[in-house]
A and B are shown apart, each in its own frame.
Chain A
Amino acid sequence: NAGVTQTPKFQVLKTGQSMTLQCAQDMNHNSMYWYRQDPGMGLRLIYYSASEGTTDKGEVPNGYNVSRLNKREFSLRLESAAPSQTSVYFCASSWTSGNTGELFFGEGSRLTVL
């Protein structure tokens, strides 16, 4: 039982390049999330997927797209990376909505945009 798995763990991009962060959970959770973590700013919600087939914007969605591929997988895509997107990205999942219980986080993906 791996929980929430993210890939890659580290990535360096040049400005304008694109990339996709992958996330998979094996806990049969309905809801999945992408957060970014920056020093002094806590965890900010980028996008979430309440259930398979749905996605919605969070606090900071600009510059990102997401896909809920199936119940297990939720990917985050940067179409044209910018230095302001340098951050640590965390995927998370929960049984249903965030106010019904714990968010389970992945180990994080550290992205640097030069």
Chain B
Amino acid sequence: GENVEQHPSTLSVQEGDSAVIKCTYSDSASNYFPWYKQELGKRPQLIIDIRSNVGEKKDQRIAVTLNKTAKHFSLHITETQPEDSAVYFCAATPNTGGFKTIFGAGTRLFVKA
């Protein structure tokens, strides 16, 4: 089955700096890669996603890149703000058995004002 590894587990940046979170997946059949943000005590919410036929996607200050050959995908947050502080989860969903979205362990991002 699919396995998703996420790094780093904790990331601390200064307000205004960029933050990068990296994930790798094992199942070459995975074709959908969402990113979820979870604020303290809240539910996870989708912030951006990318499909395997696209190499990069951007939405304002956040972007995601996908390297299918290397089975890597990354989340980039530019001009970080204190409200970006949260836990971020990457995930991968296989093309077959598309209900089994598998999550990484999460990255706790701290943005220092």
Binding site for B on A (CB under 8 A): 31, 33, 35, 40-45, 48, 50, 56, 58-59, 90, 97-103, 105-108
Contacts and interface: CB of A to CB of B under 8 A. Distances in A.
A98 B91 CA distance: 11
11 contacts: A40-B9, A42-B89, A43-B103, A45-B100, A97-B98, A100-B32, A103-B34, A103-B36, A103-B101, A106-B43, A108-B43
Contacts of B44: 43, 90, 103, 105
Contact of B105 (A42, A48, A99, A102): A42
B45 A56 contact: no
Interface residues of B, number: 28
Given A40-B9, A45-B100, A102-B34, A90 B43 contact: yes
B80 interface: no
Contacts of B31: 99
Interface of B: 1, 4, 6, 9, 31-32, 34, 36, 42-46, 49, 89, 91, 93-95, 98-106
Nearest to B2: A59
B49 to A, nearest CB: 7
A38 to B, nearest CB: 10
Contacts of A59: 1, 100, 102
Contacts of B49: 101-102
